[in-house]
Structures are given as C-alpha cells and as structure tokens.
Structure 1
Amino acid sequence: MTNPAVSGAAVVDTLVPPAADAPPPVRRRRSRGQVGRRVVLLVAAVYFIGPLVAAISFTVQNPHGGITFSAYRQIFTNPGDGQINLVQALVYSLEIAVVTIVVALALMVPTQLLLHLRVPRMRGSVEILTLLPLVFPPVVLVVGVSDVYQAAAPSSGAAAGHDEGFAFQVLRFLRDTDHPLLLALLYVMLAMPFVYRAIDAGIRAIDVATLVEAARNLGASWPSVLLRVIVPCLRTSLINASFLCFALVMGEYTISSILLYTKPFPVWLAQLPTRSGQVQAAVSVFSLLLVEVILLAIGAITARGKRGATA
C-alpha cells in the first residue's frame, strides 16, 4: 500500500522543472543591458567616425581616378599673398594657448585654496562671478576692450610716441601682433567657468584641509605646500582644465577676428586663400586629427600618473 503524501510529492517533482534550468531574471537584464550599450556605442561610432571617414576619402580623391595627397601638401606651402602657412598659424595659436593655460591656472588654483580654507562663505559669490563670461557674448567683451583703448588713446593732434600715456603704452604692448597677450587675457576670462569647475571638482575630491595642515606642521612654506602637495594631488584636474583652455583657444574665432588678428589658427583657416574644397577639407581634417592626438597624449599622461600613484 502506497503512501499518498509520498506519491503526491513525486508527482509534483516530475511536473515542476528544477529551478536551475531557468536563467535568473538578473542575468537576463544584464545581457539586455550589455546589448543596449553595444548598440548605443555602435550608433555613436558611426555618427562621429562616419563624417570623418567621408571627409578623409574626399580629401584624397583624385578627380582623374585614384588616390592623391596633393591637398595635404598644399596646406603646408606658403600662400602667395603673404599670409602665413599652417605651421606658423598653429605655433602662433599654441603660444597663446600656453600663456592662457599658465595664467588661468595661476589665478584659479590659489583662489580655490583660499575659498576652501579661509573664506568658504564667498564660494557661492565667486562661482556666480565665474559664470559671467557665459552670460555676456564675446562681442560685448570686444566692444568693452575697444572702448578702453579709445579712452586711453592720445588726442589726434598729439605726436605719435611723445604724448602717449603709460597706460596706453601698456595696452598697445598687450595688443601687439608679435606677442598678443591681449588675446591670452581675454581667453582666460572665457575659460574661467570651465577652469573653475574642473579645479573645484579636484579639490572637493581630496581632503585639502588635512593635507595643508600636515604640510604646515612639518614646516613647509605656502609655495612649497602649493607646488609639492596640492598640485600633485590635482594633476588630473589641472590636465582637464588645461585641455579645456587649449580647446577654447584653438576654436575661438569671434574675438581674434574682430580685433583684426590674422595669425591665429581659426582666423587663418577662415581666410585660407583657396577655392579648392579638398584643401579646406584637408585643413579641417588635419586640425581635427591634431586635436585627437593631443587628447590621446593627455589621456596617456593621466593614466600613467594614476598607475604611478597606485603603485
């Protein structure tokens, strides 16, 4: 005589499959998420890399058939109307970018330390001030600079170089095309919102108060604390801020063109004396690839610094 309970349990075991045979819902969601991410990355790659590939193929296309690199050779030749070539324009903009980065970091890093250590109540006010370059367009900034030069300029009847005031001599020195410090100072103002937030994020990620207090208790001076303690901890933030300044300088056209500067790379690119679409596209492709190489170099430096810090 069989036991009903035992027979019922056996029937249930035969009807219900083991739980291990069905994949868990968490694993299904993970697999769907991975597929979704891959699809998004593929679409983004086609969206960003597709136009670049099309532009490169257009620049190397020979009208008579085949492949030619004559468009890339033409962008390195000297223009016939006395305009500087591509290398000179890039070096000119790189010099402005270096000055902009140095001045912006020299202003923002001590200011951020002062706000976080001494006057944290002023942090909100300073943050609002750094947003002003995003509120006012560059044209308004250029108009203000032009008004300052007109106010400081000597009278029209005065002899040139004799009755000029000291302020106007300094302003004329800053605006000289050989060393356009005026452009660098204006770019510092435009880059202020980005540099401020990049450095602020880096300082918030570290315990700056403890580091400064420990260094000061060991007898370090304030310059030593800034250069040997704070700057190494903010390496990634400083590199990000520097790249933002570099990107702004290499792409800003309005201010330099209104102030009649013809040597910066964006203005040179707009005034390129050629009617060939291949040459203009070759210049654009070359500048884009140059920025990508610099970005990869910055990423490699940052990754090397992180590996050295963890080791």
Structure 2
Amino acid sequence: MIKVAFFSVKPYDEDIFNAHINSANSKDTERGLSRDKLQASYFTYPLNEHTAISCQGFDAVCVFVNDEVNKATLTTLAKLGIKHVALRCAGFNNVDVKAAKTLAIAVTRVPAYSPETVAEHTLALMLTLNRKTHKAYNRVKEGNFSLDGLMGFTLHNKTVGIIGSGKIGQAVIRILTGFGCNILCYDPAPCQKLIDLGVRYTTLEDLFVSSQIVSLHCPLTHATEHIINAKSLALMPKGVMLINTSRGGLVDDKAVIHALKQGHLGYLGLDVYERESELFFSDHSQDIIQDDTFQRLLTFPNVLVTGHQGFFTHEALNEIANTTLKNIHSCANGCLKTTGENWVR
C-alpha cells in the first residue's frame, strides 16, 4: 500500500483523485496485477514547515502551487521517511529542488495538462478586457444598453508578444494565429514548429517595444522574477495590454500600479498574483482583505483578475490526476526514469 498525503485539497480535488484511485485499484484487482494500491489522505490546509509533521506514516506527499516546500519543510519530510513530493501542477518554483536532491527526495510534476485549457483562459482575459463583455453584461442586466465606454479594438493584425514558447505558449500562439495576429516570441529555446508557422523570435527588448499585447507563459525562476518591471513597462507602447496566467512573481506589482496610474498600461489581466497564497482558492467575501496592493489593483476599471482558475476544466483536472498518480506509482516502484519530463531534477 502506497500512503499519500494530499495537501491544499478542495472538494473537487478529492472527487477527481478518488475517482481515479478507485478506478485504478479496481482494474488492478480485476486483472490480477500485484501493483501496490494507493491510499490517499486529504488535508485542506497547506503543506509548510509547520504542517510537515503531519506526514508521519506516509510514503509520499502531493502538493499544489501555494504549498511551501522549502528546505525546512523538506528536512522534516526526510526525517519522517518521505521519499517523493508529487506536484499536481506544472510549476515547481515553490519547491527547493536543490534541497530535495540533497535529501534524496524525488520531485515530480505535471508539465502538460491540457495546455489548451490555460491558453483558452488567456484568450478569455484578452477578449473580456478588450471588448468589456463583463461590463456590458452588468449594464444589460440593469436595463442599460448604452455603448459609451465599451469601445474595443480588433485583434486582427495586432502584434502580440509571447514570453515563453512551451506547451501553453504554443497553444496561445496557435489560437492567436487564427485571429490573424502577428506573433513575436521570446524564449531561450526557440521552437522550429512555431518558426515554420510564421512566429518571429526576437530579443526581450524588441518584444516589449513592438507589442500591443504582452502575454506571459514562462516559469518563475531567478532569471524571470519580476521580468515585468518599471524598465520593461517603460519600453512598451502606451495603452499596451499585459496578461499573466503563469506565475504572480513574474510581475512587479508596484511598477504595474504606477503604469496604470500614469495611463501607460492600458489593460491588465491577471489569473495569478505574487501573494496569492493568502487569498486564492478560498472565500474571503466576508473578510477585510489586508493586502493593500491587491485591493489597489482592483480599483482600476481596466484591470481584470481571476483567482488562478486558468487550469480549471474537467479535461485538465482529469489529466492532472492521471499523470500525478502515474508519477506516484513510478516513484514507489523505482521507475522514476519512466516519468521523463515529469521528473524535476
């Protein structure tokens, strides 16, 4: 029996994972397979250095984007005999990978769970901000059919700068190509398929200078932290649209607020936020939110924020569960190499 502690669990997580676990265990029994069955325990609270002690008696832990898997957390996990941290997400910036390697704890992730899911949410933010459908909806509900203040622009022939051309970035590019956009891209590892599609790779500075829309699809690393800052925003044309469905730490909030106040940044769409762990995935409608920066962002009429829901579709959740459980079984059976790019080295 493989015992796994799941952290930061919501009801939909438990439903999806239970369905996959029960199905797999049942099929193994029917086929007479001797593969170890998986036993899951679900915790609604996050994993961090203070809660890691609750992992006593488990073989592995499964965590999400806002769990704090730092050196202190990993040290406690190692003392408790945990051999595997399974991320049920693509990013791993919340894990001290170097410490995990030193402590002989394997780290896996889900690098490609329906990239179209996040790509489509990216386009939803772009189109909603541009055509102001959220405002139009509220107006019509109130019997107001005035078009004043709802003017948008045509995406066709606009230049869109994509930072990061991994699977999600590629999916966004394919959709925008269908809209007739001109695509600029920045990535240390250019993709030949995109080049063949007509995408032009360029420098980061040229991308900022030339793009009417900038969309972020890169991981959060030391090199990309606050890649959107006062300097990069100043390079962008007045009225530029900025979209971030990747990681909150890519954006310097104070610089963005200044650009919004100056009228330089024309539109801002966020599905992630640098300090989202204190807010997202919970109902704070009856609370006084203490994050003044976040509250200031919400005061701008040209800012649209969603609570890290870009991944939230049936298809993506099922793929996340399927890949995560495969990673757990592979690690438990000493077959880490079979997880390929899922294994964070």
TM-score between both structures, scaled by the size of structure 1: 0.25
Higher Cα Rg, which structure: 1
- In terms of fraction of residues, the more strand-rich structure is 2
TM-score between both structures, scaled by the size of structure 2: 0.23
- In terms of fraction of residues, the more helix-rich structure is 1
Q: Which gives a bigger RCO, structure 1 or 2 (Cα 8 Å, sep 6+)?
A: 1
